[in-house]
Structure 1
Amino acid sequence: MSTCGRVLSVAKDDTHRFSKTPASEICIVAGLGVQDDAHSGVTVQHRSRVTADPTQPNLRQVHLMHAELFDELQGKGFNVGPADLGENITTEGVDLLSLPRDTLLRIGDHVLLQVTGLRNPCSQIDRFKTGLLKAVLHRQPNGKLIRKAGIMTIVITGGMVRAGDPIHVQLPAPPYMPLERV
């Protein structure tokens, strides 16, 4: 495992709102997610997914977003920052979108998260700021859609997470499975 980055900020919200509330620390609970967050649970908690099938496993327990996206969006005229886009953990110095599925992220001394996939941005982003959905999606010349709105994880080991905590990345054994939307 190597240190690749750090936690810039943490957030949670006990209600299903688009943005979350910044916090000084969050408690991550094994198998559930962020304590006192609306998306915490063994089964899926995202409203659209609950409507489709409430028995699905929750592969979206903790949402991580790379702060580098905020700089990119600033260049496109969007002023967004930590917690605005609904993430629980804002990172710095980790290329989250390039990680393969099942990568392990050790945050601080105790928390261990397993990467499950990409956040699939939806129309709520445009209700937050008009045109933002298009800014977090990119279509490559070959037609492949790139989702830039962060990654989703499940919790293997819980603990407290605070701004400044180091993030260590452990890649899974090859062959690497690319991230897909979850």
Structure 2
Amino acid sequence: MSRDAEHRFGKRPATEIRLVAGVGVEGDAHAGKTVQHRSRVAADPTRPNLRQVHLIAAELLTELAAVGFDVEPGQLGENVTTHGLDLLALPRATRLRLGAHAVVEVTGLRNPCRQIDAFRPGLLSDLVGRAPDGSVVRRAGVMAVVLAGGTVRPADPIAVRLPTGPHQALAPV
């Protein structure tokens, strides 16, 4: 669990975070009903915030360590680090129950930016690549909005509810 009231690249570890419906992580700079990411605010501050919560798989951090990048939970700006869940394979509108009460809905992929290389030179190329068909592959986690609030702690279970109907692949938000 991580949050930070300031707009910095990484977030500070926390023993728990409180999710607020329609807003995001209480006390986090990216919480809000409308966009909070600086570049998005500059473009149109009235757009809805589809990036209220950032989730990354712990397995990604392990993969990065294996190729020489020491990255701790929260350092890539994520609020929630998951275990045993293939976040990138989830369809849009998947609902995740975090702990007893909180529910988030996956809105899309995080689009990694050049700040990642300022944090760890060369890391961006391990988070963004190309599939054999030439399409861009983004591995920096997923973004979600909060549907139901609640307190979330590191060992809390995560339950997955896939959307009904045709599944839509995740795209950057």
For normalisation by structure 2, the TM-score amounts to 0.99
Unaligned runs of at least 5 residues, structure 1: 1-9
Q: CA deviation at 1:83?
A: 0.5
Q: Does 1:34 align with 2:25?
A: yes
Match of 2:113 in 1: 122
Stretch of structure 1 that moved more, 120-129 or 69-78: 69-78
For normalisation by structure 1, the TM-score amounts to 0.94
CA distance in 1, matches of 2:154, 2:70: 21
CA distance in 1, matches of 2:6, 2:149: 22
Aligned residues: 173
CA distance in 2, matches of 1:134, 1:52: 26
Match of 1:23 in 2: 14
- 1:1-182 equivalences under 5 Å are 10-182=1-173
Unaligned runs of at least 5 residues, structure 2: none
CA distance in 2, matches of 1:41, 1:125: 24
Summarize deviations over 1:19-71 as a string: whole Å, max 9, x none: 10000111100000000000000000000111111111000000000000011
Residue identity over aligned pairs, in percent, reads 58
CA distance in 2, matches of 1:44, 1:76: 34
Root-mean-square deviation (CA, aligned residues, Å) is 0.6
Summarize deviations over 1:79-125 as a string: whole Å, max 9, x none: 11201101000000110000000000001110000000000000110
4+ runs deviating over 6 angstroms: none
Amino acid at match of 1:133: L
CA distance in 1, matches of 2:11, 2:33: 20
Q: Which has the higher contact order (CA 8 A, sep 6+)?
A: 1
